[in-house]
Structure 1
Amino acid sequence: MSDIFSSPFFGIALSILTFWIGVKLQKQLKSVLCNPLLIAILLTSVVLLAFDIPYESYNEGGAVINMFLTPATACLAVSIYTKIQILKKNCIPIVVGCTVGSLASMGSVWLLCQLFGLDEAMTASLIPKSITTPIAMEVCQSHGGIVPVTVIAVIFTGILGSILAPFLIRLFRVDNPVTAGLAIGACSHAVGTSRALELGETEGAMSGLAIGVCGIITVLVSMILL
């Protein structure tokens, strides 16, 4: 049995199965609270604890899945290309919106870290919470942060954004799909983008664009803050 748990196929199969269950539950219950990623994390944790499986054994397969993070993010360029005319028409609003969103995110985190007296390592770990995981990990490592903390912060931010995004869009009566997509992508990266795609193709494309633009801005601004 231990040989099965230590196999990379176990980690891959468990990750795919738990996420698939999350997707099915979301479709059945039709609730934004049933986030597939959150359900997958909870179910995976339960399995590892129930069978006393070391995280290192599970991560043999998890590491394989991590290899696809960057290519998966790059694939968002396809949806952006299909909306290239919208991008050209709204170039300045897109850049300004992403810049303001990135600065607001990083600035608020930095101020809270100073307020609560967190050290430089923890600050560097939390600053990139609103950008996609591959870029966030690089920013964290380059400034001496704690990568696991960054990953947790990124996941939590993405899940929270995907849950709250539809509600906030209705609350503030945002009826422009470009604005809605940029807001979602700027604050909740790829997890939020999956939710934006459910709202519409334009929202998804703009959210995917915001991931890249906000990632670049965060890398540059983090050099000043950290």
Structure 2
Amino acid sequence: MAAERFADPMFGTVLSVGAYVLAILIRRKLNWLHPLLSAPLIVYLVLRIGDIPFAAYREGGDLVTFFLGPATVAMAVPLYKHAMRLKHMLPSLLAGALVGSAAGILINGLSVLLLGGTESFLRSTLPKSVTTAVAVDLSGWLGGSPELTAALTVLTGLVGSVAGLPLLRLCRVDSVIASSIAIGAAAHGIGSAKLLSESEEQGGLSGFSMAACTVFTPVLLLPVHAWLL
């Protein structure tokens, strides 16, 4: 009965957006609580308390997921504004993104293998360092669980956005360009959005790195895909 009452796709969309708005308001009181942690919890509590099936929520939730693609592309705008000044560094920027993409895949894979993770978890973990819209598709291609990959990807972005810059400073990485490329490669859209709120140039560089990694990662995963098959 609940599934029929909440079958309208607008329910999932409104709940997702409303939960995020509420999460932002909560962060004004609890600065340490990231909206991407509290918003899913709010959605879960509404579904749990209201005895609403996840399938009913997903009808509209998938619409929000669809807009991840356009939102990611929109991050190219600040990069375009600074393109002329940065174009002479293009080879270095691409090299940094390539190394970051390769390191992400290698570290993800080795971590699962060394900790005794299952093959299914390995397939779901490998693509988690690219933006969610791409990681989910790559997970399905590798034979993993897109839902698990989505959760791991968001968690990766959250950790990168919160701890990325302090960790880079601890490692004596003082270059704004290097740190922006590193954040884009490791923390994708969430990390890039964090940098964009501080500096348009840094956000643009991080967005460029994120976009480059979405190209490099599928190519680098080709031999892994052949090995898994």
TM-score, scaled to structure 1 = 0.91
Q: Indicate the residue corresponding to 2:104 in structure 1.
A: 105
Separation in 1 of the partners of 2:176 and 2:169? Answer: 12
Q: 1:168 to 1:198 in 2, by over 3 A?
A: farther
> How far is the alpha carbon of 1:190 from its aligned partner?
0.6
Query: How many residues get paired?
Result: 224
Structure 2 unaligned blocks of 5 or more:
none
SS in 1 for 2:154: helix
Q: Is the 8 A contact 1:4 1:10 kept in 2?
A: no
Aligned to 1:152: 151
How many Å separate the matches in 2 of 1:128 and 1:86?
32
User: Could you tell me which amino acid in structure 1 is paired with residue 187 of structure 2?
Assistant: S
> 1:188 maps to what in 2?
187
Write the distance in 2 (CA, Å) between the matches of 1:165 and 1:110. 20
Q: 2:68, 2:133 within 8 Å by CA — same for their partners in 1?
A: yes
- Give, as a single letter, the amino acid of the residue that structure 1 aligns with 2:24: V
Secondary structure of the corresponding residue to residue 41 of structure 1 = helix
Write the mapping of 1:108-119 to structure 2, written as runs, cut at 5 A: 108-119=107-118
Question: Distance in 2 between the 1:171 and 1:115 partners?
Answer: 26
Does structure 1 conserve the Cα–Cα contact (< 8 Å) formed by 2:19 and 2:39? yes
2:206 corresponds to 1:207: yes
State the match for 2:13 in structure 1.
Answer: 12
The Cα shift of 1:21 comes to 1.6
Give, in angstroms, the shift of residue 218 of structure 1: 0.9
Q: Is the 8 A contact 1:177 1:202 kept in 2?
A: no
Question: Aligned-pair distance for 1:67?
Answer: 1.6
Quote the offset at 1:119 in angstroms. 3.9
One-letter code aligned to 2:8: S
The unaligned stretches of length 5 or more in structure 1 are none
1:25 aligns with 2:26: yes
Residue type of the alignment partner of 2:39 = A
1:64: how far off?
Answer: 1.2
The one-letter code sitting in structure 2 at the alignment partner of 1:181 is S
Residue 63 (structure 1) aligns with: 62
Q: Give the CA deviation at 1:11.
A: 0.9
Instruction: Tell me by how many angstroms 1:95 deviates.
Output: 1.4
Task: Give the TM-score normalised by the residue count of structure 2.
Answer: 0.90
1:49 and 2:51 aligned: no
CA RMSD in angstroms, aligned pairs only = 1.8
Farther-moved stretch of structure 1 (112-121 vs 18-27): 112-121
Counting only pairs closer than 5 Å after superposition, residues 137-176 of structure 1 correspond to structure 2 as 137-176=136-175
- 2-structure distance, mates of 1:219, 1:87: 26
Residue 155 of structure 1 deviates from its aligned partner by: 1.0
C-alpha distance in structure 1 between counterparts of 2:20 and 2:119, whole Å: 34
Secondary structure (helix, strand or coil) at the match of 1:90 reads helix
In the TM superposition, residue 169 of structure 1 has moved relative to its aligned partner by: 4.1
* Residue 24 of structure 1: how far off its partner (Å): 2.3
Contact kept? 2:165, 2:179, Cα under 8 Å = no
SS in 1 for 2:127: coil
Equivalent residues of 1:137, 1:150 under 8 A apart: yes
Distance in 1 between residues matched to 2:163 and 2:57, nearest whole Å: 31
